[in-house]
Chain A
Amino acid sequence: MADAALTPSAPERQIPALLPRRPMLRHLVSDRTALAGLLLLVLMFTTAAAAPLVAPRDPNEQDVANRYAPVSFEHPLGTDNLGRDELSRLIYGARISLFTSLGVGVAILAIGMVVGSIAGFAGGIVDGLLMRIVDVLLAFPSLLLALAITGMLGPGLLHLMIGMVAVWWTDYARMMRGLVLSMRERPFVESAQAVGLPGRLVAIRHVLPNIVGPVIVLGTLQTGRLLLALSALSFLGLGVQPPTAEWGAMLSEGQQYLASAPQLMVYPGIAITLAALGFNLLGDGLRDVLDPTMDS
């Protein structure tokens, strides 16, 4: 009666595939667009961080006799309407533009992840309540809402950041919740429960680490969008106040001289575009690296 398929055979000794686990960084670097984005961002961030060392002049030093100076050895990108060195202002402006978007990015990531995870894990009323709040916030055009909040608080970089954080955490919250919910249905999460791991451990070791990938991707792309939003709000005069250099604010100031000195708008415009491009390229590259590797 014994089924022939069940006759014992020599114990199977499979040799595991000897593929080296490809380190993420190497994988990323082998992707040309991602590499371009990464290099662009590294370059911009290091320049911004090292501004006092790199910038040829003090960004606020005025030289009224030498306004709208053309490109020269002394002023590599010329001077602006007050005779300030344009390149120095761009470099110092990068500090505020880049680090503020990054700061806001990290803050909304943190808030969104916490709220989204709570909603995803708790479910029921808690989930319903949190998601309705998110719905309400998402129902408004986000830039307008950020504008309104900052407007109420009064212009200033800190207020602008608060306004942005208050509006943009919702995307992450929504995505986190969805990821947590889908991850909770995965067989390995079920089997982690089946071996009696406490819920806390299941969440921290089995659910959250497998969500990191998509979150990093969204985070990178989102930071690019934040940079644009920050520039837009600064352009409208809500962010840093003159004479502090910031790309959006420079764009706004340059606008008045668009006809006579268009370069004053072109340079910060290029800087914003490049930075946003860097975030987007890196984000796309990260998505290729992180997304399909969930399994095998």
Chain B
Amino acid sequence: MAGGPLLEVRDLAAGFDSRHGMVKALNGVSFGLEPGERLGIVGESGSGKSVTAHAITGLLPSNARVTGEARLDGVDLLQMSKRKMRHVRGERIGMVFQNPLHCLNPSMKIGAQIEEVILAHTDADKREASRRSLELLDQVGIPSPDRSAQEYPHLFSGGMRQRVMIAIALACKPQIVIADEPTTALDVTIQAQIIDLLAETCKAYGAAVILITHDLGILAGFADRIVVMYAGRVVEQGDVDSIYYRPAHPYTLGLLRSVTRIDEARRDRLVPITGNPPSPVLLPSGCAFHPRCPYTQPVCSERVPPLELKGGIDHPAACHFAEEVATHRAGDAVQ
């Protein structure tokens, strides 16, 4: 893979057949992922973050129509046979889901659930798989792995279960781990630990991570690069610093303003983004964000702004007035 990205998603679009016609959940999403990179995908619910992850791994329900490309080491995952795709999942792409409480089989011992993945994808025998699973449990910080492996999931707390999920995701040393809102169901103190663990273990295994979240706060210390999604499109992407310090899309700006900060003695209120995310059945014309945008102009409701680099900004943003937003924000950031 000389130089090329590990995963390259191009023009990914997905829709669902429904009674109300085609519901478009993704409208041409493109991004790349380098080996070992930590990418954050951020957006409100309904922005298409999870659909992106599920589309890449072929886990969308059967009424979904997916177009575009998702190349892993140059091979398009979307064109892959079900059988081959099954081997990609678990073996080359590990996944961690939102709800650790319900993601483990309640009637199977913890150890067996890890072994099962190893046995399905490698030629390890039962003993080797069991040894590996204990090692994994230890690496994700489960105390006394040999005893815990014999327990059933209901004895584990949410945080512990999420650790087990990370162990399962890493079981076959994947190249990519996709974590879909891994901490949403956990309380705040555990959140930080899980994110740290994810970063640590994936680094140890040399796996790239895609962390999907609605919380920009979580990504700050974690991601190398951030993709901001809104209504099924990428509206801005760039490295962490440029997104946090030089946002060029009003939506990103809005997200940043609604994050609580402990490191600044700010006395003013959090600024919410007004309104609700648009329904995918009835997207606003032009820029889908224009009805909620404080900077909206007539052109915004007429033309969809492309995701492109503009003069004066170091990263692409899909806004007609990206430069103005960036300069306006620069004033904010100084104070």
A294 touches B116 (CB 8 A): no
B91 touches A196 (CB 8 A): yes
Within B141-196, the residues touching A (CB, 8 Å) are 141, 143, 148, 151-152, 154-157, 159-160, 165, 168-169, 171, 188-193, 195-196
B165 touches A191 (CB 8 A): yes
B88 touches A5 (CB 8 A): no
B165: A residues at CB distance < 8 A: 191
Task: Give bound CA distance, A17 to B106, whole Å.
Answer: 16
A9 touches B193 (CB 8 A): yes
A201 touches B116 (CB 8 A): yes
B108: A residues at CB distance < 8 A: 205-206, 209
Contact for B159 among A12, A19, A21, CB less than 8 A: A12
B-side interface residues, number (CB < 8 Å): 61
| Binary interface encoding of chain B residues 189-220 relative to chain A, with 1 for a CB under 8 A from any of its CBs, else 0 | 11111011100000000000000000001101
Task: Give bound CA distance, A151 to B276, whole Å.
Answer: 67
Task: Give bound CA distance, A194 to B141, whole Å.
Answer: 23
Contact for A196 among B86, B156, B245, CB less than 8 A: B86
Instruction: Say which size band chain A's interface belongs to.
Output: 35 or more
Q: Does A32 contact B (CB under 8 A)?
A: no
If the complex has contacts A3-B218, A188-B102, A196-B86, are A16 and B155 also in contact, measured as CB distance less than 8 A?
yes
A187 touches B190 (CB 8 A): no
A6: B residues at CB distance < 8 A: 192, 195-196, 217-218, 220-222
| Binary interface encoding of chain A residues 144-173 relative to chain B, with 1 for a CB under 8 A from any of its CBs, else 0 | 000000000000000000000000000000
Q: Does B101 contact A (CB under 8 A)?
A: yes
B105 touches A17 (CB 8 A): no
If the complex has contacts A16-B143, A196-B91, are A210 and B106 also in contact, measured as CB distance less than 8 A?
yes
Q: Does B313 contact A (CB under 8 A)?
A: no
Q: Does B335 contact A (CB under 8 A)?
A: no
Contact for B154 among A187, A198, A295, CB less than 8 A: A295
B116 touches A12 (CB 8 A): no
Within A157-215, the residues touching B (CB, 8 Å) are 186-188, 190-198, 201, 205-206, 209-210, 212
Contact for A2 among B86, B89, B221, CB less than 8 A: B221
A13: B residues at CB distance < 8 A: 141, 143
If the complex has contacts A5-B262, A6-B195, are A195 and B155 also in contact, measured as CB distance less than 8 A?
no
B89: A residues at CB distance < 8 A: 193-196
Q: Does A65 contact B (CB under 8 A)?
A: no
Q: Does B281 contact A (CB under 8 A)?
A: no
Q: Which 7 A-B pairs have CB atoms at the shortest separation, nearest pair first? A: A196-B90, A6-B221, A195-B90, A196-B89, A4-B262, A187-B102, A3-B220
Residues of B within 8 A of A (CB): 57, 59, 85-91, 94-95, 97, 99, 101-108, 116-117, 120-121, 141, 143, 148, 151-152, 154-157, 159-160, 165, 168-169, 171, 188-193, 195-197, 217-218, 220-222, 241, 244-245, 259, 261-263
